[in-house]
Amino acid sequence: MELKTLITEPWDDYGLIDSGHGRKLERFGRFRFIRPEPQAMWAPATSDWQADGDFIAASDEDGGGKWHLSRDVPRGGWHLKWEEVRFLAQNTPFRHLAFFPDMMPQWGWARERTQEGSEMLNLFGYTGVGTLALAGKGARVTHVDASKKSVEAGKANAFLSDMSDRPIRWMVDDAVKFAAREVRRARRYDGIILDPPKFGRGPDGEVWRLEEHLPGLIQHCRNVLDRNSRFLVLTVYAVRMSALAIGALLEQMLGDLGGRIEVGEMAVREEARGLLLPTAIFARWVND
């Protein structure tokens, strides 16, 4: 199975400026931020980093920490744009900025396989940038996330993008339970995007553990796809898992549908030197 590298290139509202010594300097619109980045083991291009905020990680391994922001950074967020999608960026307690820029190549790839009226499912959809990217191509999208706050942010982003009237179902639900119900309802989708966390909880306290629950969820996804479906995209972050492993899982679960499996790494290109900063692994089934 050949490994691919999907690269996020800089665009007007986002860029990885520099990286090194376990940190990265990024621009999000008019603001610059420093965040921890264990994969940046090299030295930075320059040590003179000027930023509007710095996320200081906690000493434990639970991913905690705190932002130290200048007064100029709006605590309520500011607007960014990718293609026709407008959305709110914001410094969250989890070191993220309310969207994941390294998903851009996946959004673009999925849009190329989206037609007017395509039925799409976005599980763990977060604040809806990927959902709106598909809706912008005319898809009917079901957006599922366990966080009511994230789903409300998605609706707000739809308003910013002038897409409030698009056929999007915004669902606050546990991804596994929702997918199982869709199987029982005999629903069918043309494409699925899966961007699960390593660990999470559903709205009713359901526990999600990636290594334990991913195979069952993929089986549910298989059961709402058919030979006329176009794709399934799976991205995985911050786990001791191989792209080959998740590729083999998709091959076993979806192999009877035909098509092919692609696997590899996701990375962001640094503006200073063109270095590639790895961010995640992925596997996807495509039926061209």
Q: Looking at this protein, which amino acid is placed at residue 230? A: R
Topology, domain 77-286: Rossmann fold (3.40.50)
- Tokens linked to 180: 């199982």
Question: What is the separation, in whole angstroms, between the first and last Cα of the chain?
Answer: 18
pLDDT in the model for residue 248: 96
Dihedral sign for Cα atoms in the order 30, 34, 36, 41: positive
C-alpha 159/C-alpha 168 separation (Å) is 12
- Tokens linked to 202: 């559903």
- Residues 13-38 have pLDDT tens digits of 999 999 999 999 999 999 999 999 99
The vertex-41 CA angle with 97 and 25, nearest 5°, equals 30
- Residues 239-278 have pLDDT tens digits of 788 999 999 999 999 999 999 999 999 999 999 999 999 9
Reduced to 3 states (helix: H, G, I; strand: E, B; else coil), residue 270 is strand
Which residues in the chain come in under a pLDDT of 70? Answer: 59-63
